[in-house]
Structure formats: structure tokens, C-alpha cells
């Protein structure tokens, strides 16, 4: 759906049923990490967040969670939030509604099994891989209680053509109060993530921002 560094207002207005950002009134930011957990990357992310007393939301691929149950539990135990990113990173525009929902449900079941069946039913979070999802897929997920979380700032750490400097600037030049910022705890993104994440955490911490998990969702203002 979107690959802009800064999500244009007309897109967020057009898809108003999705969450793009939170309150612009508070100096709070929402870091999100897609595609993990990845054993070579996610532990580094967790240690980096801990160094700044920052919390984040991890949109996990079910297949990866199944392979890395201990790491998944660590994310939760350290006070971070989890979200569903389908079982095998499906592009919604290239997937039938039936298969997309099955993939999402399979991920949910893995979450439940590893988290002893305890998930906040009013805090089911879903992010479509690539930001691509069909209206009917979204409708069905919302009917199950999911909030669909997109973003207003894309770091583009996943793009090998993006320099470390551009990755950093993509975030600091476009972030506002309440921004949802996308990073990836993946091997592909790590060269840029490793350089950018500590700088971002330091930059916004010095400006008095706090980094929050996505929970208790209300529409932004």
C-alpha cells in the first residue's frame, strides 16, 4: 500500500480505519520492529532499547516465532508488546482472503501457545507485511478484534539502496509527537539499523521524548 518515508495525509485519510499515528499532544513515540524474531538481530535490539529505557512493539512473523520461542518470550518479559505479521510474511494483494486469514490465525495460535494462552483480547495488533492488504482481509481481521497498525514514518532500513545517513534522516526529519516509526529486526536491515537505532534513541531522548508500546488503543487526535 505505501512505501513513502512520510505517509501522505490523503492516504491516512483514505484508509481511516487503520491506525497511522497516536496523539500529537504528547511527546511520545512508538517504535515498531517488523519481521522477527531473528536470533542474530533481535537480542541486539532488545539490549539497545534497554540501554535507553525504551519500549517498543514487535510485529512478529509466526514462522519465526515458532523457531525462536525463547526469544519471543524474552520480548514479552522485557515489557515490549507483540503484534501479528502473518505466519510467513504474506503480501495481502497476492493472497486470497482465505489463505491470508489462515496465516494470521496460525500466528495468533502460536502466540497463545507460547504466552500460556494469555493475550489482551482488546489489544490484538496486526500489521500487514509490505503495508499491503485487501479491504476484505482487513474487514475480517477487524471483526476478530484486531486493530490494524500502519505508520507515519518509514525508516527504510530494509532498503539496501538507502544509506545509513538517509535512514537516520528519514526518521528525524519526519517524526512528530505520536509517530509510529517502522524498523525491521531482520538480517537485511541490520547494517542500517545498527547504525541508526542508537542515534534515534539518543536524539529523541535528549529532546524529552519517551518510547511507548502500542496498547489501550484510542483514535489519535
pLDDT > 70? residue 136: yes
The pLDDT confidence band at residue 118, using thresholds 50, 70 and 90, is low
Q: What is the pLDDT of residue 17?
A: 80
pLDDT > 70? residue 121: no
pLDDT > 90? residue 66: yes
Q: What is the pLDDT of residue 24?
A: 94
CATH of the domain at 62: 3.20.20.370
Among all chains, which residue has been given the C-alpha cell 515458532? Answer: 66
* Domain count for the chain: 1
Question: Average model confidence (pLDDT) for the chain?
Answer: 91
pLDDT > 60? residue 62: yes
Please give the positions annotated as active site: 34, 184
Q: What is the pLDDT of residue 20?
A: 94
Residue 158 lies in a domain: yes
Residue 65 lies in a domain: yes
Share of the chain above pLDDT 90, in %: 83
pLDDT > 70? residue 1: no
Residue 34 lies in a domain: yes
The reply to whether the predicted model has a pTM over 0.75 is yes
pLDDT > 80? residue 63: yes
Residue 221 lies in a domain: no
**80-110: pLDDT as tens digits:** 999 999 999 999 999 999 999 999 999 999 9
**One-letter-per-residue 3-state SS of the chain:** CCCCCECCHHHHHHCCCCECECCCCCCEEEEEEECCCCCCCHHHHHHHHHHCCCCEEEEECHHHHHHCHHHHHHHHHCCCEEEECCCCCCCHHHCCHHHHHHHHHHHHHHHHHHCCCCCCHHHEEECCHHHCCCHHHHHHHHHCCEEEECCCEECCCCCCCCCHHHHHHHHHCCCCCCEEEEEECCCCCHHHHHHHHHHHHHHHHHCCCEECCCCCCCCCC
Range of the domain at 124: 9-211
pLDDT > 60? residue 13: no
Residues 163, 185: Cα–Cα separation, whole Å: 17
The pLDDT confidence band at residue 6, using thresholds 50, 70 and 90, is low
The pLDDT confidence band at residue 9, using thresholds 50, 70 and 90, is low
Peptide bond into 103 cis (omega under 30): no
Q: Which three cell numbers stand for residue 219?
A: 483514535
Share of the chain above pLDDT 70, in %: 87
- Which residues make beta-bridge pairs with 38? none
Amino acid at each position: 500500500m505505501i512505501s513513502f518515508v512520510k505517509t501522505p495525509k490523503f492516504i491516512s485519510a483514505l484508509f481511516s480505519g487503520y491506525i497511522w499515528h497516536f496523539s500529537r499532544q504528547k511527546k511520545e513515540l512508538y517504535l515498531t520492529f517488523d519481521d522477527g524474531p531473528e536470533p542474530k538481530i533481535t537480542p541486539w535490539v532488545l539490549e539497545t532499547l534497554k540501554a535507553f529505557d525504551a519500549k517498543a512493539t514487535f510485529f512478529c512473523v509466526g514462522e519465526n516465532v515458532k523457531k525462536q520461542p525463547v526469544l519471543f518470550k524474552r520480548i514479552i518479559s522485557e515489557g515490549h508488546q507483540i503484534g501479528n505479521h502473518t505466519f510467513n510474511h504474506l503480501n495481502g494483494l497476492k493472497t486470497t482472503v482465505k489463505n491470508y486469514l489462515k496465516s494470521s490465525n496460525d500466528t495468533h495460535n502460536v502466540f497463545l501457545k507460547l504466552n500460556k494462552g494469555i493475550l489482551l483480547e482488546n489489544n490484538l495488533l496486526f500489521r500487514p507485511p509490505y503495508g499491503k492488504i485487501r479491504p476484505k482481509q482487513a474487514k475480517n481481521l477487524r471483526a476478530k478484534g484486531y486493530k490494524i497498525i500502519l505508520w507515519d514514518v518509514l525508516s527504510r532500513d530494509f532498503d539496501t539502496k538507502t544509506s545509513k545517513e538517509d535512514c537516520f534522516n528519514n526518521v528525524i526529519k519526519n517524526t512528530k509527537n505520536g509517530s509510529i516509526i517502522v524498523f525491521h529486526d531482520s538480517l537485511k536491515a541490520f547494517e542500517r539499523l545498527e547504525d541508526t537505532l542508537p542515534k534515534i534513541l539518543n536524539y529523541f531522548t535528549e529532546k524529552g521524548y519517551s518510547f511507548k508500546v502500542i496498547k489501550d488503543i484510542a483514535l489519535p487526535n
